[in-house]
Amino acid sequence: MTEEVNIIDKVTQQEYKYGFTTDIEMDTAPKGLSEDIVRFISAKKKEPEWMLEWRLKAYRHWLKLEEPHWQNFSYPKLNYQDIIFYAAPKEKIKLDSLDQVDPELLKTFEKLGISLTEQKRLTGVAVDAVFDSVSIATTFKEQLKEKGVIFCAISEAVHEHPELIKKYLGSVVPYTDNYFAALNAAVFSDGSFVYIPKGVRCPMELSTYFRINAENTGQFERTLIVADDASYVSYLEGCTAPMRDENQLHAAVVELVAHEKSEIKYSTVQNWYPGDKEGKGGIYNFVTKRGSCEGAYSKISWTQVETGSAITWKYPSCILKGDHSVGEFFSVAVTNNYQVADTGTKMIHIGKNSKSRVVSKGISAGHAHNSYRGLVKVNKNAENSRNHTQCDSMLIGNRSGAHTFPYIEINNKSSQVEHEASTSKIGEDQIFYCNQRGIGTEEAIGLIVNGFCKEVLNQLPMEFAVEAQKLLAVSLEGSVG
Amino acid sequence: MLSIKNLKAEIEGKNILNGINLEVKAGEVHAIMGPNGAGKSTLSSVLAGRTEYQVTDGSVSYFGKNLLEMSPEDRAREGVFLAFQYPVEIPGVSTVNFLRTAVNEKRKYLGLEPMEATDFLKMMREKMELVEMDKSLTSRSLNEGFSGGEKKRNEVFQMAMLEPKLTILDETDSGLDIDALRLVSNGVNKLRNKDNAFIVITHYQRLLDYIVPDFVHVLYKGRIVKSGDKELAKELEVKGYDWIKQEVEAAQ
Ligand SMILES: Nc1ncnc2c1ncn2[C@@H]1O[C@H](COP(=O)(O)OP(=O)(O)O)[C@@H](O)[C@H]1O
Ligand SMILES: [Mg+2]
């Protein structure tokens, strides 16, 4: 309608609040990828031989693979010889002492709203801060240790807990899984490691904050969370990057292992730089996230709020091996301007009476495209398993697109799979109704979008839910006039 | 308070309002009646600021200000309230949350601090009682799954919360059973005072038994073709609109 075209024509540049860069001396690998670079990264981290071997196997496998281009979007063939695979602040940091962290880095995280200094820490949340290729600091480590909880940089875990790393690294996402998983296994630099011992309920939220800073680098973090029998953990990741005209690759791998009767709640608030309003720059967010419900009655719950990145491409998934295990996926993906999201989940039912639930909310404004792609697979022996998928899309303006690709594979007659989908448009009527009550258009969109996503936002830990709500409104700023 | 002079408006090149003149003073209730398609909702939309309608001529002054130059949200903040003929649904947004936003946006515009949560809830309770609004409705998503009557009552409740100076009720009576009609009318009557004014748009005179108007106007083909007092409404009830239509055709 005339009004709507008008509004959309007035699209203005949204402010990306986190677009600043930190000026700090860096220790970087030479550009490009080779066996030498893999060895370089491994040497930087003083890794044991077995770790290097694993990386090299992954690298050699990667060389045999083709870059995937089957998605519902296109991206230029990446030149891997033009990317820097390792960049770390030069100052040598002793990980157990915050006093030795470069003040410039502390300031950076401060500016991002993440305080690492003792006095101002978020209460009830332990944070691991990752800057480009290295973990800078992990808070509340001692308090967690008392309960037997391990929360540290994965590079540290390789040294301190080799038996756990050897056992679990690559156990859910092997390096043979896909192109970017192989790449990550070869060059991953840092990320978080979490282990919750038997019967322990982790006393606080755990959180990792990822910051890309250096130019022309890729970020390849790796996160591994293991919940032993009857334990519980809630974990949240956040991320931002400076505004740059070049696209930057972020290819992470996240593996979750939930043993009998344990529960892992994994939440993401993804706010990588989305590119400018013409679609220039921004992060390619190509991520493999998968959880395995190993034991009976185990549960893995993914919640994601995806507002950033030029392209978001990921399917956080659950392999429901344990009988009565539960997998959940709650997702909000917002795309504005020329952003693209192709996201969803895979729920693989193997155990009997396993259950999964999917709630996906896609919001698309400007010229953006938002796809939900989901697989529900029920194996022959997964008797009485159930899935319910609800997939809603909301369009703002008439140049954006929403697409749904549900794949369903059922090999068991006693199982039940339901799929519901809807597409709606933020109506001019809804906006006018709000206007007529004194609520301006930007506020109105925020209100309507937050209402649309409520079911998912309700899943986020309290400390972050409010932030996420604001983020949604900001991401859509300028989507209407 | 409101002075409409020779107001003309069109949509998609089609003339809908063809020169409306209307004066509304504080404390008054004006009824606007007319057959379907006469332009009643168009008039309310133009007054509320819907930009799909192009004003081609005339002026509207509201407390001395040019209403047509104001954004829809500013009109609302200045005290113009439209009770919609078809209230929209906003899934996931509770009436409480919606109204808190609305009330605070208005306060911000007036240079006031946001209302304390406890004060706001107190005000909600008072107004709910005043218009006999069901408490359970306010925590549900705005208008979602509400019956026709509940939606209209919710409009009156919002009016009570926002304390407008000029209220336009667009066929608030349509689709209501007699009990709901009485509830809605009672609400409006309780909110009437010497400082505010109402434009009551209705197709039937039934509503006017409850909300007694000071003036009755008949709108036909985008013009006010007849004005009178509440007796005019009674006459229309008996004779229908055909005689008016004939009078207009004959005069042309
Ligand atoms: N959005 C629109 N597009 C085209 N014509 C419209 C639109 N809205 C109203 N009209 C036309 O304007 C005339 C008046 O409509 P309306 O104001 O709704 O009348 P009433 O409320 O008196 O029944 C009708 O002929 C209707 O078809
Ligand atoms: Mg009407």
- Whether the Cβ atoms of residue A370 and residue A344 lie closer than 8 Å to each other: no
Residue B75 alpha carbon to ligand 2 centre in Å: 21
CA atoms B217, B218, B219, B223: torsion sign: negative
A435–B71 C-beta distance less than 8 A: yes
Q: CB distance B141–A451 less than 8 Å?
A: yes
How many residues would you count in chain A? 481
Q: Is residue A223 exposed (0-12), middle (13-18) or buried (19+ Cβ within 10 Å)?
A: buried
Q: Is the pLDDT of residue A290 over 80?
A: yes
Q: Average pLDDT of chain A? A: 85
Q: How far, rounded to the nearest angstrom, does the alpha carbon of residue A404 sit from its chain's CA centroid? A: 20
Residue B195 Cα to ligand 2 middle (Å): 27
Measured CA angle at A425 (ends A423, A431), to 5 deg:
150
Is the predicted pLDDT of residue A311 greater than 60, yes or no?
A: yes
Q: How many CB atoms lie within 10 A of CB B127?
A: 22
Contact B50 A453 (CB under 8 A): no
Chain A residues near residue B48 by CB distance under 8 angstroms: 432, 436
- State the distance from the centre of ligand 1 to the C-alpha of B251, rounded, in angstroms: 24
Strand partners, A344: A373
Q: Which ligand is nearest to the CA of B174?
A: 2
Q: B77, A438: Cβ pair inside 8 Å?
A: yes
The rounded percent of chain A whose pLDDT value lies above 70 is: 86
Residue labelled with tokens 């240079």: B111
Q: Where are the alpha helices (DSSP H) in B34-116?
A: 40-48, 72-77, 95-109
For an interface test with A, give the residue of B88, B96, B115 to mutate (most A CBs within 10 A). B88
Contact A443 B101 (CB under 8 A): yes
Q: Is B169 exposed, middle or buried (0-12, 13-18, 19+ CB in 10 A)?
A: buried
Query: Which residues have CB less than 5 Å away from ligand 2 (the ion)?
Result: B 40-41
Give CA–CA dist A13/A299, Å, rounded.
41
ipTM over 0.85: yes
| Atom number of ligand 1 nearest to Cα B39 | 17
| Closest residue on chain B to A424 (Cα) | B91
φ, ψ dihedrals at B23, nearest 5°: -115, 125
Higher pLDDT, A86 or A229: A229
The nearest CA of chain A is from the CA of B223 a distance in Å of 25
Written in H, E and C, the secondary structure of chain A is: CHHHHHHHHCCCCCCCCCCCCCCCCEEECCCCCCHHHHHHHHHHCCCCHHHHHHHHHHHHHHHCCCCCCCCCCCCCCCCHHHCECCEEECCCCCCCCHHHCCHHHHHHHHHCCCCCCHHHCCCCEEEEEEECCEEEEECCHHHHHHCCCEEEEHHHHHHHCHHHHHHHCCCCCCCCCCHHHHHHHHHCCCCEEEEECCCCECCCEEEEEEECCCCCECECCEEEEEECCCCEEEEEEEEECCCCCCEEEECCEEEEEECCCCEEEEEEEECCCCCCCCCCCEEEEEEEEEEEECCCCCEEEEEEEECCCCEEEECCEEEECCCCCEEEEEEEEEECCCCEEEEEEEEEECCCCCEEEEEEEEEECCCCEEEEEEEEEECCCCCCCEEEEEEEEEECCCCCEEEEEEEEEECCCCCEEEEEEEEEECCHHHHHHHHHCCCCHHHHHHHHHHHHHHHHHCCCCHHHHHHHHHHHHHHCCCCCC
| Residue among A433, A437, A452 minimizing CB distance to B91 | A452
- pLDDT value of residue A101: 67
Please give the angle made by the CA atoms of B223, B228 and B234, to the nearest 5 degrees: 105
The residue with greater pLDDT, A6 or B9, is: B9
Asked if B84 lies within 8 A of A452 by C-beta distance, the reply is no
The pair of structure tokens assigned to B235 is: 């006459």
Token pair belonging to A246: 């070049």
Does A447 sit within 8 Å of B98, measured CB to CB? yes
Q: For chain B, what's the residue count? A: 252
Q: Is the pTM of this model over 0.90?
A: no
pLDDT in tens, chain B (252 residues): 999 999 999 999 999 999 999 999 999 999 999 988 999 999 999 999 998 899 999 999 999 999 999 999 999 999 999 999 999 999 999 999 899 999 999 999 999 999 988 899 999 999 998 888 888 888 889 999 998 888 999 999 999 999 999 999 999 988 888 888 888 899 899 999 999 999 999 988 889 999 999 999 999 999 999 999 989 988 888 888 888 888 888 877
pLDDT for position A6: 32
Amino acid A287: pLDDT: 92
| Residue-wise pLDDT tens digits, A66-116 | 998 887 778 888 888 888 888 877 765 544 555 666 777 777 777 666 666
Query: Which residues on chain A are in Cβ contact (under 8 Å) with B98?
Result: 434, 437, 447
Residue from A435, A437, A413 nearest A426 by CA: A435
Read off the pLDDT of each residue in A377-400 and give the average, rounded to a whole number. 92
- What's CA A46's distance to the chain center, in Å? 28
Report the relative pairing of strands A253-258 and A355-364 from DSSP bridges: unpaired
pLDDT the model gives residue A88: 79
CA gap A82, A61 in Å, rounded: 20
CA of B39 to the centre of ligand 2 (A): 7
Ligand 1 centre distance from Cα of residue B42 (Å): 6
* A320-337 pLDDT per residue, tens: 999 999 999 999 988 888
Of residues A247 and A98, more confidently modeled? A247
pLDDT of residue A14 exceeding 70, the answer is: no
Does A283 score more than 60 pLDDT?
Answer: yes
- Whether A455 and chain B come into contact, CB under 8 Å, resolves to yes
Q: Which residues of B touch A6 (CB under 8 A)?
A: 51
Is A451 within 8 Å of chain B by CB? yes
Side-chain-side CA neighbours of A447 within 13 Å: the count stands at 30
Locate A60 and state its tokens: 């050699």
CA dist B157 to A204, B83, B90, B95, B160, Å? Answer: 43, 10, 16, 10, 5
Distance B8 CA to ligand 1 centre (A): 14
- Looking at residue A9, its pLDDT comes to 31
Over residues A361-381, the mean pLDDT reads 91
Question: What is the separation of C-alpha A359 from the centre of its chain, rounded to a whole number of angstroms?
Answer: 17
Q: Return the ligand number nearest the Cα of B38.
A: 1
Q: Using one digit for the tens of pLDDT, what is the confidence trace for A463-477?
A: 677 777 777 776 776
Q: Chains A and B: how many Cβ contacts under 8 Å?
A: 78
Average pLDDT over residues A206-225: 82
Evaluate if residue A170 carries a pLDDT over 70.
yes
Could you tell me if the CB of B39 is within 6 A of ligand 1? yes
Query: Are A447 and B90 inside 8 Å of each other by CB?
Result: yes
B93: nearest CB among A2, A438, A448 = A448
Reading the block at residue A62, the tokens are 């990667």
Residue A121 is predicted with a pLDDT of: 57
CA atoms lying within 13 Å on the CB side of residue A107:
8
